[in-house]
Amino acid sequence: MSGKHARRRISVLGSTGSIGTSTVDLLKGMKDRISVRALVGGKNARLLAEQARLLEAELAVLDDENGYEELKTLLADTGTEVAVGRQAVIEAGALEADWTMAAITGAAGLEPTLAAARNGHAVALANKEALVCAGNLMLKIVREAGAKLLPVDSEHNAIAQSLGGAPMSEVEKIILTASGGPFRRASLQEMAEATPEKALRHPTWSMGAKITIDSASMANKGLEIIEAARLFGLPEEQIDVLVHPQSVVHGMVNFRDGSFVAQLGSADMRIPISHTLAWPERMTTGCARLNLAELGQLDFEAADEERFIPLRLARQVLRAGGVAPTVFSAANEVAVAAFLAGRIRFLGIGETIEAALDAMDANPEPQTLEDIFHWDRVGRELAEAWINRQPQGN
């Protein structure tokens, strides 16, 4: 970007998802200071077109090729270019931009996120799988390109804010908080009988289906442990998880002098997104302010790694390294889809992941993106094979 007052060039990958729509909500108040290079959506052509029109985007890309005609028609009277398909999504990620939101969920977000990192600018990372599946490769690309990774996950963003630039050598532990989801107090029997409807009933956050199920099983927190290890360069034993049902404290740093520094805020993803958008400064948002006097108390309890199997498994794969985290993530995606389709019971999510990990016949360190995609496929196949061996609805 040249010139003191030049507009910042922005791209949003995953603009029609929950993080993407929150990002667009913030961007619409900054139209005089930004120019939107690309908006990338999944299947919702109508919403993508509304966003592109609102932000006067240069390019609107839909992953679903079936939506091309609808998107083209909806934007026919604008200057926005339209494209569809997987390759167009990756090319949109590679567009030169000063700030890119990487919010395409799952392994599908890997390539466009890496493409954005190669540009050497700021990448607001909401796709945790990029670090979980391709951690070393992702960090190598970021380092070589001179890019800046800005964590969007509320927990990791809270850790980044709490660190305040302190060296990691001063840190004893970081603490990720978890709401506990809908099954915080549930017995194993209740969890075994849980329906998708119950699992999707998150007590605090409004999110997409996949991440909401991940929150209920605590696979999400497991992925976040791995993500935190990559982001902050810490071993597994220096990352703790505390269940905090009010979801007010999003993360804490325990420094080696005994001090705890925490970040607090309302359960609104626009707060961490705005932190990455304005970084290294801060911006005004319309987010609700906390009233601690009204809140009265904050509760914390240890996370139960016996009931929430994915949490225990995440620590195991982090210690194992290699492609084990990739298989963990892939098997979890398959298991969540199977649970939502009624093919396995809720506890089957953790059992599927464990079965896939147990069935791995090697655990090499991935060197290339192709290695990662290969092991992602292996993880999916192992998970699918295990699910197919289960009685229907088990």
Tens digits of residue pLDDT in 338-393:
999 999 999 999 999 999 999 999 999 998 989 999 999 999 999 999 999 987 65
DSSP 330: H
From first to last of its 394 residues, the chain has per-residue pLDDT tens of: 444 457 999 999 999 999 999 999 999 999 999 999 999 999 999 999 999 999 999 999 999 999 999 999 999 999 999 999 999 999 999 999 999 999 998 878 999 999 999 999 999 999 887 899 888 889 999 999 999 999 999 999 999 999 999 999 999 999 999 998 899 999 999 999 999 999 998 777 667 788 889 999 999 999 999 999 999 999 999 999 999 999 999 999 999 999 999 999 999 999 999 999 999 999 999 999 999 999 999 999 999 999 999 999 999 999 999 999 999 999 999 999 999 999 999 999 999 999 999 999 999 999 898 999 999 999 999 999 999 998 765 5
Strands 122-125 and 148-151: parallel
pLDDT for position 95? 97
Query: Residue 83 in 3-state DSSP?
Result: strand
* Contact (Cβ atoms closer than 8 angstroms) between residue 179 and residue 269: no
How far apart CA 9 and CA 98 sit, in angstroms, is 5
Output b/e per residue, 255-273; b: 16+ Cβ within 10 A: eeeeeebbbbbebbbbbbb
Tokens (6 digits) for 206: 């409004």
Q: ω before 167 within 30° of 0 (cis)? A: no
pLDDT on residue 169: 97
String of DSSP letters for 256-289: TTS-EEEEE--S-THHHHHHHHHTTS-----PPP
**How high is the pLDDT of residue 203?**
72
What is the C-alpha to C-alpha distance for residues 251 and 174, in angstroms, rounded to an integer? 8
Per the CB < 8 A criterion, the answer to whether 161 and 281 are in contact is no
The predicted-structure confidence for 31-44, as pLDDT tens digits, reads as follows 999 999 999 999 99
Structure tokens belonging to residue 110: 């890997």
Looking at residue 114, what is its pLDDT? 94
The pTM of the full predicted model, rounded to 2 decimals, is: 0.91
Q: What angle do CA 99, 104, 284 make, to 5 degrees?
A: 45
Q: Dig out the tokens for 138 from the structure.
A: 């992702």
pLDDT given for residue 87 in this prediction = 97
